Amino acid sequence: MVDVLISGGGPTGTMLAAELRLHGVDVLVVERDREPSAAVRSLGLHPRSIEILDQRGVLDRFLAHGQRHAGGVGRFAGIDRPAPADLDTAHGYVLGIPQPVTDRLLAERATELGARIRRGCELTGFHQDADGVDVEFADGTSVRARWLVGCDGGRSRVRRLLGVEFPGEPATTQWLLGEVEVTTPPDELAEVAARVRATHRGFGIGPVGDGRYRAVVPAATVIEDRSSPPDLDEFRAQLRTYAGTDFGAHTPRWLSRFGDATRLADHYRMGRVLLAGDAAHVHPPLGGQGLNLGIQDAVNLGWKLAAEVAGWAPTDLVDTYQTERRPVARDVLTLTRAQSELISPEPGPQAVRRLLTELMDLEDVRRLLAEKITGIGIRYDLGDGPALLGRRLRDIRLSSGRLYERTHRARGLLLDRTGTLSLAGWADRVDLVADPGVALDVPAVLLRPDGYVAWLGDDQEDLLRHLERWFGSALAAAGPR
């Protein structure tokens, strides 16, 4: 028996596997495709995802393969306005990095930590009972796991077999996306692309290196089965429809289609089966939040599921995954749907776009939208309290090093300026940093493993209640508290 079986070896699945392995959980990832996808569906990471990589000590790996774009932070519906000043993050940039590279780096990280990834292994069914889940595969083999997590995309088989409803809005528009070589000279191509984008913001083409170009163009019709990729003739025909030329596109490396469907799973958990990433939510691609949302799902779920496997989780800890992450997904769906409407060439959406463009001259409006898109504005509902409660804490300087350097092991952390608070009974799950010189406006904060503030103050008894709430009962061997 394995502790956790993850169906889906994309970024959500491999990030979750790495988080679980930091806590010693036995993890098996199964992926239907035999080879990693070459499709560049995502082009970058937002500040909150960058913070997460920094929290886990692996950000340098991604920086080595990406390019920082400070001006792209919080760009809404392609409206060209400057990024808001002084965002509450040490990483105020978008990291441009193709999804295949992100996928590879996350898979390497999970493997390094001891996760097993089995490619060419298709889940076909499962049956759960009170103690675990029996999972069946297309080759006739099966595995029993304590938990099953579906990270298998928008057409999730796990979700369908689980019987979870996936209500929302079907796609009304589709785009064709691909990476091709072209014969049109670069200057001429850029001129044509700029002219077309002035009226059709769903169109774009630009270089991605090695003489190749990434192009996106509206499709002629909406096809229900998006798993069927377009062929080169269809792709070139749509380029000619919108740009008057197909740019001599040839030798595609990959072609795909995507739409603006907006759907949210009714439940993220049923028994011992959970959903994360696109298996739980799909939305239009505007704003580039899909991959980022999945990574953040994984970091919220990982430590909670690990606590359940280890036996110290409070009764409802795993259920807080849904209560915290589903509202976040609902907000992202709203945000991406709004952006999808604003790129329409129709008069109504264009009128709203002109008005919003004026509003975005206001710093507060740009900041609000940027915090939503980047994920740094998320606040989980952890009850009444100061504004910092339920928010992630940005990286700050300590007397020795940085805060995020202390979070690499995905444990809880008590950052104490008073020097009087005790973690007796929880030292196996929570680290203590006593630092009177740290730049905090409160005496102490208790951080969950995902970096969100679970408590703040200076009262020891109040701290004990919150330690029990998030980290279970104290070890009896620790003696009196």
Q: Which CATH architecture has domain 2-168+263-374?
A: 3-Layer(bba) Sandwich (3.50)
Q: State the span(s) of the chain assigned CATH 3.50.50.60.
A: 2-168+263-374
> How much of the chain, in percent, has pLDDT values that exceed 70?
98
- What are the tens digits of pLDDT across the range 80-95? 888 888 899 999 999 9
Mean pLDDT of 422-441: 94
The predicted structure's pLDDT at residue 478: 44
Looking up tokens 């740094």, which residue turns up?
376
Q: Which of 194-203, 245-254, 368-377 has the lowest mean pLDDT?
A: 194-203
Model confidence band, residue 41 (pLDDT cutoffs 50, 70, 90)? confident
Model confidence band, residue 60 (pLDDT cutoffs 50, 70, 90)? very high
Looking up tokens 């004026």, which residue turns up?
358
The backbone region for 350, taken as left when phi is positive above 0, alpha when psi lies in -120 to 50, beta otherwise, is alpha
- Greatest CA separation for the chain: 78
The backbone region for 323, taken as left when phi is positive above 0, alpha when psi lies in -120 to 50, beta otherwise, is alpha
Answer with the residue of higher pLDDT: 347 or 40. 347
The predicted structure's pLDDT at residue 476: 60
- What are the tens digits of pLDDT across the range 447-461? 999 999 999 999 999
Mean of all residue pLDDT scores within the chain:
93
* DSSP letter string, 436-466: TTS--SSSEEEE-TTSBEEEESS-HHHHHHH
Q: Which of 262-266, 289-293, 311-315, 441-445 has the lowest mean pLDDT?
A: 289-293
The predicted structure's pLDDT at residue 226: 66
Q: Which of 113-122, 207-216, 307-316, 370-379 has the lowest mean pLDDT?
A: 207-216
CB 3 within 8 A of CB 263: no
The predicted structure's pLDDT at residue 477: 45
Looking up tokens 């003696």, which residue turns up?
479
CA–CA separation, 198 and 316 (whole Å): 51
Which pairs from 400-403 meet CB under 8 Å and 24+ separation? 400/435
Tokens of 101: 């590279």
- What are the tens digits of pLDDT across the range 180-239? 999 999 999 999 999 998 888 889 999 988 889 999 999 999 887 666 789 999 999 999
The predicted structure's pLDDT at residue 210: 83
The predicted structure's pLDDT at residue 200: 85
CA–CA separation, 244 and 186 (whole Å): 16
CB 6 within 8 A of CB 29: yes
Q: What residues pair up with 177 in beta bridges, in sequence order?
A: 216, 256
> How much of the chain, in percent, has pLDDT values that exceed 90?
81
Answer with the residue of higher pLDDT: 38 or 367. 367
Tokens of 46: 């937002």
CA–CA separation, 209 and 115 (whole Å): 32
Q: Which CATH architecture has domain 173-259?
A: 2-Layer Sandwich (3.30)
Q: State the span(s) of the chain assigned CATH 3.40.30.120.
A: 403-478
Q: Strand, helix or coil at 235? A: helix
- What are the tens digits of pLDDT across the range 264-306? 999 999 999 999 999 999 998 877 788 999 999 999 999 999 9
Chain centroid offset of residue 86 CA: 23
Mean pLDDT of 128-156: 97
The predicted structure's pLDDT at residue 316: 95
CB 135 within 8 A of CB 257: no
Q: Mention the CATH class of domain 403-478.
A: alpha beta
The predicted structure's pLDDT at residue 479: 41
